[in-house]
Chain A
Amino acid sequence: MKITAVRTTLFRDGTAWYSPAHDTMTSPRGTGRCLVELLTGSALSGWAVAPAGAAAVVEALARDLFVGEDPRSAMSLWERTGGAISPDGDPASAFARAALDIAVWDLKARANDEPLWKTLGGTRPRANAHLHQEVRPPDAEAMFDRYRSRSAATGIRSGSLPLSGEPATDLQGLASLKQALGATVPGSALMVHFDGSGGPEEAIRHLRTLESGFDLTWVRSPVRAADWTGARKVADSVAAAVCMGFSFTDVKAYRTYLERYSANVLELDVALLGISGVVQMADAAFGFELPVVLSPHPGDLGVQLFPALPTSMSVAIDNDRHLDPRAGSVIGSSVTFEDGRAVAGDGPGNGLVIDRDALQSTMLSC
Chain B
Amino acid sequence: MKVTGYRFETYVMKLARPIADCNLPEGFDLLPGSILYIHTDENVTGIAPGFGGAGIESLFHLVEGRDPREVASIWFTINDYIHKLGNEGAAHSALGAIDIALWDIKARLAGEPLWRTLGATEGRVKAYASGLDYCLTDDELFTFYRRMAEQGIDGGKLKVGLDIDADMRRLGIMRDALAAACGRPQLMIDSNEYWSPKQAVRYIRRMEREYDIAWAEEPARRWDYQGLRLVSQLVSAAVATGENLNSVADFYPLIANQAVDVLNVAASHSGITGCRQIAHTAHAFGLPVSMMNCQANFMAHLAAALPNHLGLEVVDCGREHCLKFDSYIDDGYIILGESPGLGIEVDEAVLKDLQENPPTGRGQFPFSRREGAGRYIYPLQPGEVEWEHNGR
Contacts and interface: CB of A to CB of B under 8 A. Distances in A.
Interface of A: 69-70, 72-80, 82, 108, 111-112, 114, 118-123, 251-252, 254-255, 258-259, 276, 279-281, 283-284, 286-289, 307-308, 310
A288 B256 contact: yes
Given A121-B72, A121-B273, A288-B256, A72 B251 contact: no
B116 A72 contact: yes
A72 B119 contact: yes
A111 B117 CA distance: 11
Contacts of B118: 75
A284 B255 CA distance: 11
B252 interface: yes
A281 B284 contact: yes
B281 A288 contact: yes
A289 B276 CA distance: 16
Interface in B184-229: none
Contact of A80 (B121, B252, B285): B121
Contact of A76 (B67, B119, B280): B119
Interface string B99-125: 000000010011010001111111000
A161 B106 CA distance: 42
A287 B269 CA distance: 13
Interface string B73-98: 10110000000000000000000000
B244 interface: no
B52 to A, nearest CB: 20
A193 B283 CA distance: 29
A267 to B, nearest CB: 15
- Interface majority SS on A: helix, strand, loop or mixed? helix
B14 to A, nearest CB: 37
Identify the 3 closest CB pairs spanning chains A and B, nearest first: A121-B72, A75-B119, A287-B281
Nearest to A82: B307
B63 interface: no
A308 B73 contact: yes
Interface centre among A123, A254, A283, A308 (most CB of B within 10 A): A283
Given A76-B119, A76-B121, A280-B283, 12 more contacts: A72-B116, A73-B116, A77-B121, A120-B72, A121-B273, A123-B67, A258-B284, A280-B284, A281-B280, A284-B283, A284-B284, A308-B73
Most buried by A among B72, B109, B249, B286: B72
B282 to A, nearest CB: 8
Nearest to A282: B280
Contacts of B109: 112
B296 interface: no
B278 interface: yes
B71 interface: yes
B248 interface: yes
A289 B252 contact: yes
Given A286-B248, A287-B251, A288-B256, A255 B285 contact: yes
Contacts of A258: 256, 284-285
B261 to A, nearest CB: 15
A79 B307 contact: yes
Contacts of B276: 283
Nearest to A73: B121
Q: Which of B122, B273, B304, B307 has most chain A Cβ within 10 Å?
A: B307
SS of B interface (majority)? helix
Contacts of A307: 70, 72-73
Nearest to B106: A121
Contact of A287 (B66, B106, B248): B248
B277 A310 contact: yes
A73 B273 contact: no
B357 to A, nearest CB: 40
Contacts of B69: 114, 118-119, 121
Contacts of A77: 119, 121
Chain B CB within 10 A, most for which of A77, A118, A287 = A287
A69 B121 contact: yes
A287 B255 contact: yes
A108 B120 CA distance: 12
B305 interface: yes
A123 B120 contact: no
B340 to A, nearest CB: 13
Contacts of A279: 280
B70 A255 contact: no
A258 B117 CA distance: 29
A283 B273 CA distance: 10
18 contacts: A69-B121, A72-B117, A75-B119, A76-B307, A78-B119, A80-B121, A111-B110, A112-B110, A120-B72, A121-B73, A121-B106, A121-B273, A122-B70, A252-B286, A280-B284, A283-B279, A283-B281, A284-B284
A75 B120 contact: yes
Interface string B246-271: 00110110011000000000000000
Interface string B113-151: 000111111100000000000000000000000000000
Interface string B295-317: 00000000011010000000000
B284 A74 contact: no
B284 A73 contact: no
Contacts of B285: 255, 258-259, 284
A284 B112 contact: no
B65 to A, nearest CB: 12
Contacts of A288: 252, 256, 281
B231 to A, nearest CB: 20
A80 B305 CA distance: 12
A61 B251 CA distance: 36
A286 to B, nearest CB: 6
Nearest to B285: A255
